[in-house]
Amino acid sequence: MDVAPGLFPGSRIRKGDGLVLLEHMKMQGRVEAPRDGRVSRVFVRSGDRVVRGQVLLEIS
């Protein structure tokens, strides 16, 4: 898993911005911002393993 460079608490994001790139069995999936806002918290770092349903970040 890779977190977008420069993504940290306080970052402004827009709907559709790429936030996280997930990789599973050599397939990649991009997680995009569902709405405009600011990143409140980031719960993961690049290279972390994640599981289905895990909260990756919080948007306010």
Q: Where are the domains of the chain?
A: 1-41
Fold of 1-41: OB fold (Dihydrolipoamide Acetyltransferase, E2P) (2.40.50)
pTM summary value: 0.78
Instruction: Say how far apart CA 60 and CA 2 lie, in whole Å.
Output: 21
Output the pLDDT for position 33.
Answer: 95
Mean pLDDT, residues 32-38 taken together = 96
Chain centroid to CA 42: how far? 8
pLDDT at position 1 over 90: no
Which residues, in sequence order, are CB contacts of 51 under 8 Å at separation 6+?
none
Give pLDDT tens digits for 37-57.
Answer: 999 999 998 889 999 999 999
Query: What tokens were used for 7?
Result: 């993504």
> In the predicted model, is pLDDT for residue 2 greater than 90?
no
